[in-house]
């Protein structure tokens, strides 16, 4: 059966949702909750009143869905339909409800209500572009001396290639303490501190993740947060990194939950930088309209703007210029210095990775293809992993004349979810991880930029991360080319370009 990455991952995201939550697919492969819209507290009565006035006997279906719960994000769900509407509305009344509200705006100039999108790391439109591949350390390289960003397989001196020098210019933290980074992702795996460079990474009590599911097989995306933390600490060893598992599970949750989770984790103790390798598409191609359609993060963004914290967000892996939110906030003048959107370079550094989202709303690019970092703990009993998705015969993003040996095609895998009906599950590729993995996506370009901003702050005695980000991006403006456009590019210390052909020959 031909691989259908979107359907395969949609099915997994649906299975990970709480009981009773059903999902629909909208324009542009955006995903959202059936039967519900979301609105701010000060708009609830108006939204419910307007919808009941045109409900034609369905008034009892239109009601608040969250009871008396008070939310920090001030965003609430409104039920607009249920499965009894399946024959007339595939999303149980969401599209008709939004059509009925039309262009009505609230007191802040925003839409009265929007869809409740799924924010995710796991979808084809999101941040890991491929599945991780295990990678053993070369002879003579140990976890004690390993600090790597990519695997340059054509470089003869493997130990030198896998050990770029840590930034020699980064001084120890000053009197004000280290630059603090919060990673909101899938959390840290049990045993993450077996890597020396991760030993001082922290997490909320009780939040390390069990890697294996009930079947004893490694859960999909379980090591995503650990991989991100590993990149930050390798590039910026003096950063104080904390990892929260707000995206635990299949790396997906409804947008109103993400807005609430972010504010819950932050409380009154906001860090210097938030690293977020997740987001969502909306039906809109315009960044301003796309941002307006993500009401679940409005409360968080309002509080972000009242502080000096910088949000660094992945631009997504759509392989096109459709805005990916919240990264697309970077295109709006109001948020321009508070949000950095990050795209991915391919492994040879010559262009954008095939999968990277791109366009004027992406502020900066960094390496994001086939990076090598900590994935699982160093363990004598490595967990088994079953590949879920098959690779493609051709790149699924680029025109034929632009194609190269990208991660759509290499390394070759047969995935469990791509098997034909009746085909035995044993036909799917199996592997095991002894600690390190090679992985691709704007998920992993993002922590490189985060760490580079940390280093720039320390090297230049800056305490304002927004000032540092603006200066660093300006210094690197036009340093690279992505799909024929000059762009800002940030390369970490010691990074080496790698010919993409090395990876096809290795498979």
pLDDT in tens, 292-335: 999 999 999 999 999 999 999 999 999 999 999 999 999 999 99
- 7 or 151, greater pLDDT: 7
Per-residue pLDDT tens over the stretch 219-228:
878 899 999 9
Per the rule left: phi > 0, alpha: psi between -120 and 50, beta: everything else, 11 is alpha
User: Is pLDDT of 2 > 80?
Assistant: no
- Token pair, residue 276, equals 């977020």
Closest CA to 431 of 387, 388, 390: 387
Q: Give the residue ranges of DSSP H helices in 81-166.
A: 94-101, 158-161
pLDDT level of residue 160 (50, 70, 90 thresholds): very low
C-beta neighbour count of 213 within 10 angstroms: 12
User: Is pLDDT of 344 > 60?
Assistant: yes
Q: Give the residue ranges of DSSP H helices in 171-311.
A: 224-235, 255-266, 287-292, 298-305
Q: Which of 13-22, 77-86, 440-449 has the highest mean pLDDT?
A: 440-449
Q: CA angle, corner 73, sides to 72 and 76, nearest 5?
A: 105
- Outline where DSSP puts E strands in 349-500: 364-367, 371-374, 384-386, 430-432, 436-439, 480-482, 485-487
d(C-alpha 154, C-alpha 170), whole Å: 30
Helix (H) or strand (E) holding 5: helix 5-16
Closest CA to 340 of 226, 480, 229, 447: 447
- Token pair, residue 386, equals 């079953």
User: Is pLDDT of 57 > 50?
Assistant: yes
- DSSP assignment of 28-96: GG-EEEEEEEEEEGGGHHHHHHHHHHTSSS-GGG-EESSTT---TT-EEEEE---GGGTTT-TTTTHHH
Per-residue pLDDT tens over the stretch 262-291:
999 999 999 999 999 999 999 999 999 999
pLDDT level of residue 58 (50, 70, 90 thresholds): confident
**What was the pLDDT predicted at 249?**
67
The predicted model gives 176-192 an average pLDDT of: 92
User: Is pLDDT of 126 > 70?
Assistant: no
**What was the pLDDT predicted at 136?**
78
Closest CA to 472 of 357, 370, 366: 366
d(C-alpha 132, C-alpha 221), whole Å: 8
pLDDT level of residue 503 (50, 70, 90 thresholds): very low
DSSP structure class, residue 149: S
Which residue ranges make up each domain of the chain? Answer: 21-120, 133-163+171-385+434-505
Burial class (CB in 10 A: 0-12, 13-18, 19+), 269: exposed
The domain 133-163+171-385+434-505 having CATH identifier 3.40.50.200: the answer here is yes
pLDDT level of residue 125 (50, 70, 90 thresholds): very low
pLDDT level of residue 20 (50, 70, 90 thresholds): very high
């Amino acid at each position: 059966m031909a691989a259908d990455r979107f359907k395969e991952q949609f099915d997994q995201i649906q299975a990970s949702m709480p009981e009773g939550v059903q999902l629909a697919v909208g324009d542009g492969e955006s995903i959202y909750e059936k039967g519900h819209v979301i609105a701010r507290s000060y708009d609830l009565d108006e939204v419910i009143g307007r919808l009941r006035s045109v409900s034609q006997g369905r008034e009892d279906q239109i009601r608040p869905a969250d009871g008396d719960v008070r939310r920090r994000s001030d965003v609430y769900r409104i039920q607009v339909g249920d499965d009894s509407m399946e024959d007339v509305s595939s999303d149980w009344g969401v599209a008709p409800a939004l059509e009925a509200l039309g262009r009505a705006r609230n007191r802040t100039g925003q839409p009265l209500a929007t869809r409740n999108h799924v924010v995710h790391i796991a979808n084809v439109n999101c941040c890991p572009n491929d599945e991780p591949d295990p990678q053993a350390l070369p002879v003579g390289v140990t976890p004690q001396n390993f600090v790597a960003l990519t695997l340059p397989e054509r470089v003869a001196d493997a130990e030198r290639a896998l050990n770029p020098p840590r930034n020699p210019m980064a001084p120890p933290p000053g009197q004000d303490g280290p630059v603090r980074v919060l990673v909101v992702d899938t959390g840290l795996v049990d045993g993450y501190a077996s890597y020396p460079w991760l030993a001082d990474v922290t997490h909320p009590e009780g939040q390390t993740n069990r890697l294996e599911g009930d079947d004893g097989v490694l859960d999909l995306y379980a090591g995503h947060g650990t991989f991100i933390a590993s990149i930050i600490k390798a590039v910026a060893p003096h950063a104080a990194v904390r990892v929260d598992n707000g995206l635990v599970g299949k790396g997906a949750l409804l947008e109103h939950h993400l807005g609430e989770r972010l504010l819950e984790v932050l409380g009154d103790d906001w860090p210097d930088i938030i690293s977020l390798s997740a987001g969502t598409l909306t039906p809109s191609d315009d960044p301003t309209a796309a941002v307006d359609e993500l009401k679940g993060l409005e409360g968080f963004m309002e509080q972000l703007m009242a502080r000096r914290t910088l949000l660094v967000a992945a631009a997504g892996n759509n392989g096109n210029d459709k805005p990916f939110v919240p990264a697309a906030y970077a295109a709006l003048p109001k948020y321009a210095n508070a949000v950095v959107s990050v795209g991915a370079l391919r492994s040879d550094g010559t262009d954008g990775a095939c999968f990277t989202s791109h366009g004027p709303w992406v502020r900066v690019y960094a390496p994001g293809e086939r990076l090598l970092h900590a994935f699982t703990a160093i363990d004598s009993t490595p967990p088994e992993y079953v590949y879920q998705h098959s690779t493609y015969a051709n790149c699924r993003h680029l025109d034929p004349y632009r194609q190269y040996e990208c991660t759509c095609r290499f390394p070759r895998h047969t995935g469990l979810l791509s098997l034909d009906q009746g085909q035995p599950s044993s036909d799917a590729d199996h592997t095991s991880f002894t600690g390190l993995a090679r992985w691709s996506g704007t998920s992993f370009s993002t922590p490189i930029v985060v760490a580079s901003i940390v280093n720039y702050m320390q090297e230049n005695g800056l305490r304002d991360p927004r000032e540092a980000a603006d200066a660093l991006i300006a210094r690197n403006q036009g340093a690279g080319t992505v799909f024929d456009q000059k762009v800002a590019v940030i390369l970490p210390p010691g990074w080496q370009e790698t010919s993409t052909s090395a990876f096809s020959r290795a498979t």
